[in-house]
Structure 1
Amino acid sequence: MMIILALFVVFLIGVPIAFSLGLVSLGQIMIDGFPPLVVVQRMFTGADSIALTAIPLFILSGGLMYRGGMSKRIVNFADLLIGHFPSGLAMVSILACMFFAAITGSAIAATAAIGGIMIPLMVEKGYDKEYCAPLLACGGSIGPIIPPSIPLLIYGVMANVSVAKLFIGGFLPGLLMGVGLMVYSFIVGKKRHYIGRDKRAPFREVLKAGKDALLALLMPVIIIGGIMSGAFTPTESGTIAVFYALIVGMFVYRELSMKDLWTAMVDCAKSTGQVLVVVAFASLFTWVITVNNIPQQVSSFLGYTISTKFMLLLVINIILLIAGTFIDTTSAVVIFTPLFLPLVQSFGIDLIHFGLVMAVNLTIGMCTPPLGVCLFVSGSIVKISLKDQFRDLLPMLGVLILVLLMVTYIPDIVLLLPNLFS
């Protein structure tokens, strides 16, 4: 267990997570007497997976969609559809985040793309900055839940379970997160007199915007429908998403230039490099703790102290919620999956269900201080600090935690669609 303690000590002194995993693993390998060549072998093995090629594809498709005008059309259509309600722009923001989540699988991408459009507009219409920023951060957290999802993809590879079933299982939890935030926004809008559009948009105008956004709206339908029908795999869906976004943005909407394409590819390369470095070091760390029987020790310890499935899930939720506040989602998935997997299996918990429980937990961490990456992204748009966002953030986190408890203790929320389409 000392290796786990050493890892968190290295985290706390400020060493980047990927290198923390590498340093601790290398130290344990030297202590155990294994040759240093093992480091390279295990890192290469961890990153050498066909399924992981979907990560750059989904990141690139999101970048192309944002720069090709698809995000703008989705926001405009959502605004005409529900923008006349109290707190209408806030509800539009959440709905747009849900649409964007169905394409990118990234919380940061959803927060940046939709927040960059909606937050300045909301502030201009009289919404408080301190309310807009955390709302878009929480809305962006839906990104890794509604399929496709980068954390679920990594979990599926590590746990050796169907990525397609994980993707399908994330649809209802993501929908609940979005609806919960929209209901909360409606209540706050009534109290604070956040006014939406002056009147309901004429049906003809809504229809026109719907036609304009149709190709953008069809993208998640094609991706999710293709996976659910078995027409293509989750990895293949990433390729389809890239080509679809490229063709629509460049040749139909004609807003995607060669310069935009190059920028999207560079951003994609940077983001992919960051993710795969973590995955490679995490593979090494997983091998080291497995050789030293750490997962079995954790399972034995918790198994002796916990006797029911209810209590086990509660303890895991608490651990993951705390971990998510200072460890990014990808790193947390690769650290905790091998630790909890034997214990979860011994209690008969479905691995698809557990994958979504873990994902929802950790995405909540992306909008929770002190790490709160999505909070930094949304706050930077309107130049406010984490402290300024905290008051309005708390009830939003309460909504997301309520959804987490529903997902945890009502497994059918996750398993209904995978079982239906199996």
Structure 2
Amino acid sequence: MDIAVTSGLIILVLLLIMLVAGVPIAAALAVSSVCAILPVLNFEAAVVTGAQRIFSGISIFSLLAIPFFILAGNIMNKGGIAIRLINLAKLVTGRTPGALAQTNVIANMLFGAISGSGTAAASAMGSIIGPVEEEEGYDPNFSAAANIATAPTGLLIPPSNVMITFSLVSGGTSVAALFMAGYIPGLLWGLACMLVIYMLAKKFGYRSKTKFEAKEKLSILFQALPCLLLIIIVIGGIIFGIFTATEGSVVAVVYSLILSLFFYKSIRFKDLPQIFRESARMTGIIVFLIGVSAIMSWVMAFTGLPTAISRGLLGLTDNKFVILFIINIILLFVGTFMDMTPACLIFTPIFLPVCTALGMNTVHFGIMLIFNLCIGTITPPVGTTLFVGVKVGKVRIETVFKQLLIYFAAIFLVLLLVTYIPLLSLWLPGLMGYV
């Protein structure tokens, strides 16, 4: 049997067994990767090389952006940002049908982009907007479905840690290009869901009763402006080359600290140690995952597994549209069982060679992959954002999932557009000269 096929089967079988047995994903990745190389190298060489790959995989300067963006997100999650963004979103939606649910969508896009977490967006926005929607007669399942369906949009709208992870594992794809590429797909996801909300709200007669006076509008804008400036300063600085993504992450931390401590005064100095601990814990998990995934990437390259998979897929058909559709189906399936970071680390080196062989731009492929994995965060059985949204909305998963089906249809349609129309991902990066 070909060594690539043998190694691929070893990785697949061992990975599945260990994941079913409840072994942590990082340990499962490391063990299955080392075992997959044993037919070629002896045990001692495999273990020593694996250890070296872990250290080389995390000894990358640009990787520092991840812990700093995580820290900035945690500071802003606890820094009074949510309510100010919600009030701003209320101004935008006005009194359109389902205005409160529409507010939830816009607030999710803004807060998710600032915090870099779909789960944080679902929790913060659902807990604040949900009770208000219930007071105005909204069905809790309708409210929860709107919140859950749009919480992942902030993972596509930068800054996004998963984009930085993809940049590293794909061999240094421009982070600025990926950031710019995520805007239109993320906005299309949100707009598609807003259209669904509009149609359902008209059917059920959901209309907002909130009306702001001119003075209130100015106050809301003044309070929300500093939050929006974070996105403008950080993303603008990266896009225009004022600083790198890593330096931009540090700017985000300093800005969010000043904003939360001195402007909003919503956190105190004594809260910071806990925020630092939470950020360090999350960083440790992600960085270790990246390190052990370097072993798998090396094993794949050494055995020629990506090339074998590429030949296999291209051997099925030479139709680009069919191959991309198959890859989407696989990624959607994977996303339902695996968190975004490990899925990105595992499947980027597998499918990237296939897509580049089809003439697909790496940035375009990255957005397609991340879009698929974002959907996985709101689908069972491992959809963390789905479960958080259900808990915050105080609804049952089986009832809210029925409401989510129409949102899934809209989101899948956007996914197909993003897959088959490269301009949606590449127009903004091209405009800025990145692709």
| Coarse TM-score class (shorter-chain normalised) | over 0.9
Q: Within 2, Cα distance between the matches of 1:67 and 1:339? A: 38
CA deviations on 1:325-382 (whole Å, 9 max, x unpaired) are 1111111100100111211111111001010000101101100111111011111213
CA contact (8 A) 2:11 2:36 kept: no
Counting only pairs closer than 5 Å after superposition, residues 112-127 of structure 1 correspond to structure 2 as 112-127=123-138
Q: Within 2, Cα distance between the matches of 1:16 and 1:117? A: 33
CA contact (8 A) 2:89 2:103 kept: yes
Q: Within 2, Cα distance between the matches of 1:322 and 1:45? A: 31
CA deviations on 1:172-227 (whole Å, 9 max, x unpaired) are 111111111112111111112222124x4233322221012111121111122212
CA contact (8 A) 1:68 1:249 kept: yes
Q: Within 2, Cα distance between the matches of 1:363 and 1:28? A: 29
Q: Within 1, Cα distance between the matches of 2:23 and 2:272? A: 34
The amino acid of 1:8's aligned partner reads L
* 1:303 correspondence with 2:314: yes
Counting only pairs closer than 5 Å after superposition, residues 78-93 of structure 1 correspond to structure 2 as 78-93=89-104
Report the alpha carbon displacement of residue 115 of structure 1 after superposing the two structures with TM.
2.4
TM-score (norm 2): 0.93
Structure 1 equivalent of residue 197 of structure 2? 185
CA contact (8 A) 1:157 1:163 kept: no
- The SS at the match of 1:254 is coil
Q: Which moves more between the two structures, 3-12 or 271-280? A: 3-12
Q: Within 1, Cα distance between the matches of 2:388 and 2:331? A: 22
Structure 2 equivalent of residue 364 of structure 1? 375
CA contact (8 A) 2:10 2:35 kept: no
Q: Which 5+ residue runs of structure 2 have no aligned equivalent?
A: 1-7
Q: Within 1, Cα distance between the matches of 2:236 and 2:111? A: 16
Structure 1 equivalent of residue 233 of structure 2? 222
Structure 2 equivalent of residue 162 of structure 1? 174
RMSD: 1.6
Structure 1 equivalent of residue 186 of structure 2? 174
CA contact (8 A) 2:77 2:120 kept: no
Report the alpha carbon displacement of residue 229 of structure 1 after superposing the two structures with TM.
1.4
Structure 2 equivalent of residue 376 of structure 1? 387
Alignment partner of 1:413 out of 399, 424, 427: 424
The amino acid of 2:197's aligned partner reads S
CA contact (8 A) 2:181 2:367 kept: yes
Structure 1 equivalent of residue 335 of structure 2? 324
Q: Within 1, Cα distance between the matches of 2:233 and 2:427? A: 21
Q: Within 2, Cα distance between the matches of 1:24 and 1:31? A: 13
* 1:23 correspondence with 2:31: yes
Structure 2 equivalent of residue 133 of structure 1? 144
* 1:208 correspondence with 2:219: yes
Q: Within 2, Cα distance between the matches of 1:183 and 1:27? A: 49
Structure 2 equivalent of residue 64 of structure 1? 75
- The SS at the match of 2:359 is coil
- The SS at the match of 2:159 is coil
CA contact (8 A) 1:101 1:148 kept: no
Structure 2 equivalent of residue 196 of structure 1? 208
Report the alpha carbon displacement of residue 230 of structure 1 after superposing the two structures with TM.
1.5
* 1:251 correspondence with 2:262: yes
Q: Which moves more between the two structures, 59-68 or 150-159? A: 59-68
CA contact (8 A) 1:149 1:167 kept: yes
Q: Which moves more between the two structures, 409-418 or 28-37? A: 28-37
Q: Within 2, Cα distance between the matches of 1:197 and 1:212? A: 22
Structure 1 equivalent of residue 325 of structure 2? 314
Q: Which moves more between the two structures, 80-89 or 389-398? A: 80-89
The amino acid of 1:421's aligned partner reads M
What percent of counterpart residues are identical? 38
* 1:48 correspondence with 2:77: no
Q: Which 5+ residue runs of structure 1 have no aligned equivalent?
A: none
CA contact (8 A) 1:85 1:197 kept: no
Report the alpha carbon displacement of residue 150 of structure 1 after superposing the two structures with TM.
1.2
Q: Within 2, Cα distance between the matches of 1:385 and 1:239? A: 40
Structure 1 equivalent of residue 12 of structure 2? 5
Q: Within 1, Cα distance between the matches of 2:144 and 2:274? A: 26
Q: Within 1, Cα distance between the matches of 2:363 and 2:152? A: 20
The amino acid of 2:190's aligned partner reads G
> How has the CA–CA distance of structure 1 residues 188 and 214 changed in structure 2, closer, same or farther, with 3 Å as cutoff?
same
CA contact (8 A) 1:134 1:367 kept: no
Q: Within 1, Cα distance between the matches of 2:312 and 2:361? A: 21
Report the alpha carbon displacement of residue 94 of structure 1 after superposing the two structures with TM.
0.8
CA contact (8 A) 1:81 1:206 kept: no
CA contact (8 A) 2:91 2:217 kept: yes
- The SS at the match of 1:325 is helix
CA deviations on 1:305-337 (whole Å, 9 max, x unpaired) are 120221221111111011111111111100100
Q: Within 2, Cα distance between the matches of 1:221 and 1:145? A: 16
Q: Within 1, Cα distance between the matches of 2:313 and 2:353? A: 11
- The SS at the match of 2:392 is helix
CA deviations on 1:1-22 (whole Å, 9 max, x unpaired) are 3124312343334333222112
CA deviations on 1:7-59 (whole Å, 9 max, x unpaired) are 23433343332221122113224443134212211111112222221112112
CA contact (8 A) 1:173 1:407 kept: yes
The amino acid of 2:202's aligned partner reads K
Provide the aligned length of Structure 1 versus Structure 2. 421
Report the alpha carbon displacement of residue 83 of structure 1 after superposing the two structures with TM.
4.3
CA contact (8 A) 2:145 2:400 kept: yes
